[in-house]
Amino acid sequence: MGRLEGEILELLWAGAGPLTVRDVLEQLNAARSRPLAYTTVMTVLARLADKGAARRRPAGRGYAYEPVGRDPASLAVRRVIDEHGQAAVAHFLAEAEADDDLRERLRRIIEGRS
């Protein structure tokens, strides 16, 4: 993942709800001496949606974006599942089965007592 993709994901995670391209652009450009172009931010957001890191929904004449996961770990898990499907899940479960501590932590997470 590129630096700009990471910056944009951070903004999406920090947002109180879906953000439009204009919202993201304004926040990014507030801290830059050389502003980014609208089309640059639009392209990066579209790529994040294509990668499964963000979800886009129609908003006016454009789209609003929100993160699929709330942190980098959830994004990494989503990528592994997207790339390797059931095999990734099967290998993960086999690893968890062999590790008592991991299995117990997963059980607590599933039960909502992380």
Confidence at residue 97, expressed as pLDDT on a 0 to 100 scale = 87
The rounded mean pLDDT for the chain is 88
Asked if the model's pLDDT at residue 70 lies above 90, the reply is no
Find out whether 52 and 67 touch, Cβ atoms under 8 Å: no
- Whether 107 has a pLDDT exceeding 90, the answer reads no
Tell whether pTM > 0.85. Answer: no
- pLDDT tens digits for range 16-30: 889 999 999 999 999
Show me where the domains of the chain are located: 3-67, 72-110
77-94: b (≥16 Cβ within 10 Å) or e: eeeeeeeeeeeeeeebee
pLDDT for 75 beyond 80: no
Query: According to the CATH classification, is domain 3-67 in 2.60.120.1440?
Result: no
